[in-house]
Amino acid sequence: MSALTGLDLPGRAAALGLTCRQYLDLARADPRVAADPALEGGGLPRLRAWLAAGRPTANVNDLIFVGDVEIGAVVRAVVEKLPMPVLHHVVTSVVVIGSGTSTGGLCFDHPPTLPAPEGDHVHLIVLTRADEGLAAHECAHSWRNAPSPPRAPAAFRAALADDQCLCAALVKSDEQGARLAAAVIDHHLHEERDTDRLASMWLGRHVTQDVRHTARRERARIACAAALPTDEEKS
Ligand SMILES: [Zn+2]
């Protein structure tokens, strides 16, 4: 539940540390900022940080993109359409990588550094096709995801192992496990639809990812992860 859900205008303004007039100015400058459904998630602390920093502007030319020129052109066109707080987040915290059209793979020895990486670490978006809707969708994930602190390799591996254990439990157990797996997939699909809604608002047209594809991918991921030996089985 959002910190802003159910609040009236003065309440929403106060939650962002603004006066009503400032809030209305913000909404007037770009109605998408005030109407942002992602303020129910990671978007809220990001918007607050952007306001506290004095509403810095950014330019699509600052975007750090590596990879296929076809994908890069589409990503730049999308980034130009984003509300300024989101555009600022993308060009200061995210490296976008595109590969799969003119290149099959990429290697760079010096990962790009970012001007102001949120949480002091690089956020990544990886795209495999030149698709405006998909690029906006992944930018929306990045804006919606809760800000996270940097993770040491051991903590990152532990999170992956946790996910693997969950997948194993979902697949190996009985009918109840199957129901749980369906609930996990449903939860992910919910997130996908919310992310599409935000991307649609930004682009001013309906954006939708293939939900059946996402469900298939999730089932495959769960089955794959479950087939891997867990740490206990390995030792
Ligand atoms: Zn998605």
**For residue 62, which of 91, 90, 89 has the smallest C-alpha distance?**
91
Please give the residue range of the domain that contains residue 136: 60-144
pLDDT < 50: residue spans in the chain: 1
Instruction: Give the model's pLDDT for residue 1.
Output: 47
Last residue within a domain, chosen from 113, 144, 175: 144
The reply to whether 35 falls in a domain is yes
User: Which tokens in the block code for residue 211?
Assistant: 């939900």
> 230 and 157 share a domain?
yes
The answer to whether position 111 is within a domain reads yes
- 134 C-alpha vs ligand 1 centroid, how far in Å? 8
How many angstroms separate the alpha carbon of residue 187 from the centre of ligand 1?
12
Ligand 1 centre distance from Cα of residue 17 (Å) = 31
Q: Residue 69: inside a domain, yes or no?
A: yes
Give me ligand 1 centre to Cα 10, in Å: 33
Residues 87, 62: Cα–Cα separation, whole Å: 10
Of residues 143, 144, 142, 134, the one with CA closest to residue 77: 134
**Chain position carrying tokens 């810095």:** 56
Q: Do 78 and 103 fall into the same domain?
A: yes
Taking the centre of ligand 1 as the mean of its atom positions, its distance from the CA of residue 89, in whole angstroms, is: 18
Residue 36 in any domain: the answer is yes
Q: How many domains does the chain have?
A: 3
Q: Do 176 and 105 lie in a common domain?
A: no
130 and 77 both lie in a single domain: yes
pLDDT at residue 38, as a whole number: 62
One domain for residues 159 and 95: no
Residues, beta carbon < 5 Å, ion ligand 1:
192
Shared domain for 181 and 116, answered yes or no, is no
141 CA to centre of ligand 1 in angstroms: 7
- Ligand 1 centroid vs 173 CA: distance in angstroms? 27
How many whole angstroms from 195 Cα to the centroid of ligand 1? Answer: 7
82 and 130 fall within a common domain: yes
Q: In 3-state terms, what secondary structure has residue 201?
A: helix
Is 4 inside a domain boundary?
Answer: no
Answer whether residue 2 is part of any domain: no
How far is the centre of ligand 1, averaged over its atoms, from the C-alpha of 107 (Å)? 25
* 166 lies in the same domain as 219: yes
Q: Do the domain assignments include residue 77?
A: yes
The Å distance, Cα 138 to ligand 1 centre, comes to 6
194 contacts 144 by C-beta, under 8 angstroms:
yes
Calculate how far, in angstroms, residue 7's C-alpha sits from the geometric centre of ligand 1. 28
Residues 119 and 177 in one domain: no
Tell me if 169 is assigned to some domain. Answer: yes
Neighbours of 235 (CB within 10 A): 6
